[in-house]
Each structure stands twice: as structure tokens, then as C-alpha cells.
Chains A and B, each alone.
Chain A
Amino acid sequence: MHPAEVRVQLKMPSEVACIEQTVSLVARHCLSGTAANESLRFRLQVALAEALANAVVCGNQEDPAKSVQVDAELRIDRITVQVTDEGDGFDPEQVPEPVLPEHIADTCGRGLFLIRKLVDDVHFNEQGNSICMTLRRR
């Protein structure tokens, strides 16, 4: 196993206004000094933005007393990002498929679906308040 080349840990307030800046910061550190292609950058940005939005809005319900923990690791062959909120968690298996005909025109519910499509591996902790996403370098 390769050692981590870059490790980023930060705590973000439960404010949607902080999501874009956090995505930018994590992506910059995880992709700096590497030959990251634009597709990898895009997939990382969107998946992380989705995970942070879920954590801030659904998990912490924008409670200013709660924060979101982000732990990211860059290895030579992959990037792993874990996002943890202080909410009660949820069951990811109960989220309906947004591409079913009856849900295509829904105005919400695509976040987890996009994460699963954009990253190579997704895991949740048992409580359902922490998501770990892995993107392999291709």
C-alpha cells in the first residue's frame, strides 16, 4: 500500500455558503502538484459538493452549533474523502432512484445518485452520518 502523499483535515460550519470554498480548498490540496485530469477534478468537486450539502442541510439541518468534518487523503492511485456530520444519519438504501420515470421530473433527490455515479467507491458508516468516497486515478 502506498503512503498518503497529502492529507487534508478540516471542520466546516453548517452553512451552505461555505460549501463552494471548502470544495475548492480540498480539491486544490488533493490535486496540487499532480497530473490530475479535468474529469477527475470535476468528479471530485461535484461528489464533494453533494456530500457537503447533504451533511449541512440534511444531516446538521444548518444548525450553527454543529459542524461538518472533512478528511481527505491523496495517494498515488486514488483520492479518498470522508465527510461526517453531527446528525442522526440516514439509510442510503431507502433513497429512491431519481431516474425512474416517476422521479425524473422531481426537483430534488439526485445527490446520492450522482455521488454513486461519479466516484468509484462509496461507503457509509453504520449510523449513516458519515460517507467515504474513493476516486481512482485513471
Chain B
Amino acid sequence: MGIHQTKDAGGAVVVRVDGQLIVGNRQELKDLINGALDSGERKFLIDFARTGYIDSSGLGALVSLSKRVRELGGELRLSGLNEDLRSLFELTKLDTLFAIADTPEQALANF
């Protein structure tokens, strides 16, 4: 359980969300990505392959982070959404705001 950060060979920050992304831990994700932004990082991938569920606070945190990353000239991509998680993005039309890949490898391929 938790939110873990690694760095891809191509320079992208890869964040893995193990467990849930909800109102109780969304700030942890925001602090992690905002801290990396402040350190000069601009390419981010958040992988949800090990995520159980996401609530609207978690979705809101992703929207907020995406806005800030874009404002600073960077890009935030998502990967690893199973059918249920993907349905949340489709229901809320957030699938139109994010670049979503099936796997981290696909997301990082042309990053």
C-alpha cells in the first residue's frame, strides 16, 4: 500500500499507486508530484496497475496536477487502468483530458 516514485531511464518520473487513491491520501500524491515539479522534473507517468479504486477526490487531484504540470510546460500521462477504473474516467469524461496508455511501457515509449 502507498504511493511510490521511481525514475525511468528516459527521465520520466514514474509514480505507482498501490491500494486506493482517495480523499485520505490524495495529498500525498499531490505533494510528491509538486515536489518533483519544484525540483525541475517535467515528465510524469502515474501507473494504476496496482490500484483498487479511485474516488472523486483522487480524480480531482489528478486534474489539479495535470493543470500545474501543463502550466509548467510538462506532461502527465496515466497507465494501467483496469476496466472498472477506466470506466470512472469515461463516466466523468476525464478520459478526454488525459493521455491514457494500457501499460507503463507503452506510455513511456515515446515520452
Contacts and interface: CB of A to CB of B under 8 A. Distances in A.
Say whether chain A's binding surface is mostly helix, strand, loop, or mixed: helix
Interface in A11-62: 16-17, 19-20, 38-39, 42-43, 45-46, 49-50, 53, 56-57
Contacts of A42: 53, 84
A113 interface: yes
- Which of B24, B63, B64, B88 has the most chain A CB atoms closer than 10 A to its own CB? B24
A99 B93 contact: yes
Contacts of B9: none
A114 B23 contact: no
Interface of B: 19-20, 22-24, 52-57, 59-61, 63-64, 67, 84, 88, 91-94, 96-97
Interface of A: 16-17, 19-20, 38-39, 42-43, 45-46, 49-50, 53, 56-57, 98-99, 104-111, 113-114, 117
